């Protein structure tokens, strides 16, 4: 059994938040974000119309090169941590905003992932707001078994670091590429755990907004771990909405494309898309372009399909599976499964497809 297998991380939930903890809100997936009032959905533009009031915290220019004081949730004790406390094993990810390292904590030989970003990339007040949002979500995620949690965070004069649990089983995209489609029992199991993770965030005023195969990791025991909180929206009370155009194109809900205000409904739509992919082995919006119809290869055409085309459920799926897909992929968010103001999550857990797997969040 590997070191990672011996350390499933569920017993090491550690929350570290001090004034010196400055965590990157970068995310390196394919994403779009723009203000609906400024630009049509087809044109990506990086704006943040729903960000909280900007607030300067004076953190970027401060030199904490010797490490930052952190606090372990389980014991309440504080400690100083820096790069010197870790052994670098290898680089496991690169993107335009961040680099991810596989590291070993020297004192106990436990394996973690370390996300590193240059402070020069976090260069305005809105970036800082999104940094703080990701920090807050990581703090809460450490308390749930199906969300990637934080061990610690620190900074130097030029870089931001946060140390998160390393999930060794690969992402669902990797497994789907190998298997093409999943048995209904497997899809039911994964979707149940994902729905619990989403409900946990929703109950705490957070919309995830970036559910996709790439962001669903599997741990060494085969359980789900959602990751990447850079696109989350926090601070929402029941019934509150937001308006930013954002998401991965294939998973964007119709209400976002229509420029409407939206709430947690967009996460349940994305879960429907992901479940369709698991069960059918393809996207519900697969568009095959050709030389004669080059426009069918564009995102504008994809968005048109999402908005206007009926979703055809494969006949090979069971009646129960087809029913839950139709519920999540209802283009009307008011009627969508999981979106009823009083019975939302209960409607999901009681659905005939869900069986007895979902339980409590």
Exposed e or buried b per residue across 253-266, where buried means at least 16 C-beta atoms within 10 angstroms of its C-beta: bbbbbeeeebbbbb
- State the virtual CA torsion across 71, 138, 154, 156 in degrees, nearest 10: -160
Chain centroid to CA 341: how far? 23
The 3-state DSSP class for residue 128 equals helix
Cβ 59 vs Cβ 128: under 8 Å: yes
The 3-state DSSP class for residue 40 equals coil
Cβ 135 vs Cβ 17: under 8 Å: yes
Q: Is 119 annotated as a binding residue?
A: yes
Cβ 42 vs Cβ 33: under 8 Å: no
CB atoms within 10 A of CB 185: 10
Q: Which residues contact 335 (CB under 8 A, 6 or more apart)?
A: none
Q: Which own/partner pairs from 11-14 qualify as long-range (CB within 8 Å, at least 24 positions apart)? A: 12/74, 12/110, 12/151, 12/165, 13/73, 13/74, 13/142, 13/143, 13/149, 14/72, 14/73, 14/74, 14/142, 14/149, 14/150, 14/151, 14/152
Write down the catalytic residue from 127, 171, 210, 219.
Answer: 210
224: phi then psi, degrees, rounded to nearest 5: -80, 145
Cβ 121 vs Cβ 26: under 8 Å: yes
Q: Which two tokens stand for residue 349?
A: 């857990």
Nearest to 249 by CA among 304, 287, 302: 302
Geometric angle at alpha carbon 195, from 191 and 201, rounded to 5°: 150
The reply to whether 210 belongs to the active site is: yes
Q: How far apart are the first and last CA of the chain?
A: 30
Q: Which two tokens stand for residue 338?
A: 């999981």
Active site residues: 210
Binding residues for ATP: 119
Bind-site residues: 119
């Amino acid at each position: 059994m590997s070191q990672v297998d011996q350390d499933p991380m569920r017993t090491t939930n550690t929350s570290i938040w001090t004034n010196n903890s400055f965590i990157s809100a970068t995310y390196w997936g394919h994403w779009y974000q723009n203000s609906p009032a400024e630009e049509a959905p087809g044109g990506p533009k990086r704006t943040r119309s729903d960000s909280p009031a900007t607030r300067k915290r004076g953190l970027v220019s401060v030199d904490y090169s010797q490490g930052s004081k952190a606090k372990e949730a389980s014991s309440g004790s504080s400690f100083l941590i820096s790069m010197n406390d870790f052994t670098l094993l290898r680089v496991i990810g690169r993107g335009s905003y961040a680099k991810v390292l596989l590291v070993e904590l020297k004192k106990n030989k436990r394996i973690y992932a370390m996300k590193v970003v240059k402070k020069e990339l976090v260069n305005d007040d809105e970036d800082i707001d999104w940094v703080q949002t990701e920090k807050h979500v990581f703090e809460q995620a450490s308390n749930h078994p199906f969300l990637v949690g934080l061990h610690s965070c620190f900074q130097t004069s030029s870089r931001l670091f946060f140390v998160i649990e390393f999930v060794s089983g690969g992402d669902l995209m990797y497994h789907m590429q190998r298997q093409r489609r999943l048995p209904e029992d497997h899809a039911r199991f994964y979707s149940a755990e994902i729905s619990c993770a989403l409900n946990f965030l929703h109950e705490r005023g957070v919309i995830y907004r970036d559910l996709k195969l790439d962001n669903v990791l599997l741990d060494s025991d085969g359980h789900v771990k959602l990751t990447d909180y850079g696109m989350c929206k926090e601070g929402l009370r029941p019934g509150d909405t937001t308006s930013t155009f954002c998401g991965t194109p294939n998973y964007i809900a119709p209400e976002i494309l229509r420029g409407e205000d939206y709430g947690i409904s967009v996460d349940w739509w994305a879960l429907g898309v992901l479940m369709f992919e698991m069960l059918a082995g393809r996207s519900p919006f697969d568009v095959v372009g050709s030389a004669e119809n080059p426009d069918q290869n564009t995102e504008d055409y994809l968005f048109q399909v999402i908005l206007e085309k009926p979703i055809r459920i494969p006949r090979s799926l069971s009646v129960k599976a087809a029913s839950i897909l139709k519920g999540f992929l209802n283009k009307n968010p008011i009627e969508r499964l999981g979106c009823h103001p009083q019975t939302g999550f209960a409607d999901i857990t009681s659905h005939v497809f869900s069986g007895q797997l979902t339980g409590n969040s």
